[in-house]
Structure 1
Amino acid sequence: MIAYALRSETPVDPPAIRLLITEAFTGAEHASGTEAAIVDALRARGELTLSLLAEQEGRVIGHVAFSPVGIADGASGWYGLGPVAVAPDRQGAGVGAALIEAGLARLRQAGAGGCVVLGDPGYYARFGFANDADLRYEGAPAEYFMALTFDGSRPHGAVTYSVAFEATETARD
């Protein structure tokens, strides 16, 4: 197996990220088809807090996005994880996990309060995410909405994501 490097997004990366996300989510069971547009919209709104890439021999093979979320109780410093994309020919090789772990570590180092994710509990539990009855995301099955606290805080109430998550069209740079 050829090694890959993890790094932060640079100004030249958006086209490669857009292509990777589109390829990664094409035909995926729970994909909306708007994942690349969401990342573009987060970037355009200045809400793409953390954008990490996995790169192998000059090719972007993975990407993870983190953006701020709102919590009804006013808690600050919380972020949403996603979307996470890995090239179809690299899925199942640990690239996504490495990106998620690196992103969570950077958020902790930056003093974030915690992170939420909407996804498969069987997958995200390995990173420490767990259901929290005090946090909810309207319209999603409770078991698929999970939180990970970094500072021990326990916010409560409805969680809201950026309006960028309503994107339906790709915003071009």
Structure 2
Amino acid sequence: MNSWMKIEEFCALVNLDILAVHALIDEGKLLSKEANGECFVEVSRSAHALIPATKGIVVDEAYEGASVSMSSEFVEKTVGAILNLHEKVLDAKEETLDALKGENRFLKEALFSMQELYDEDRKTIETLTKQLELLQDELEFTKRKYKMMWNKAVESYTPSAE
């Protein structure tokens, strides 16, 4: 599996300047490709080209005279492990982004559904309010009609003379 990295990131990873990396590409020691106007370097094979293939010992005197020795095979395996972990992190990141996108789609659909229900409820409330107003007007009319009828009946009522 090929692992491609932008040339700037590769330079930072291997602690080389871009001109040195371009020189190695021109010599054929590093694999590269152009995509979308950017230069990418193939990481795993390039790591093997940068690390000497001898079975010698690498000596690091980073801590006040103390030396740490490592074989080139150990360094190659370490770089490979780091690159493998980097790929796993990128895969996990993409899975997380996909999960979040799916969750966002679900929430968006739920929101649209809630909005539709709200609109339907609002229309129902408007219809019921109009019907209530009409019924109140009809009730007021009926009250006036019966009041007039009873007033007329009371006025025309004459008690019987018994």
TM-score, with structure 2 as normaliser: 0.21
Structure number, greater radius of gyration? 2
Q: Which has the higher strand share?
A: 1
TM-score, with structure 1 as normaliser: 0.20
Structure having greater relative contact order (Cα 8 Å, sep ≥ 6): 1
Q: Which has the higher helix share?
A: 2
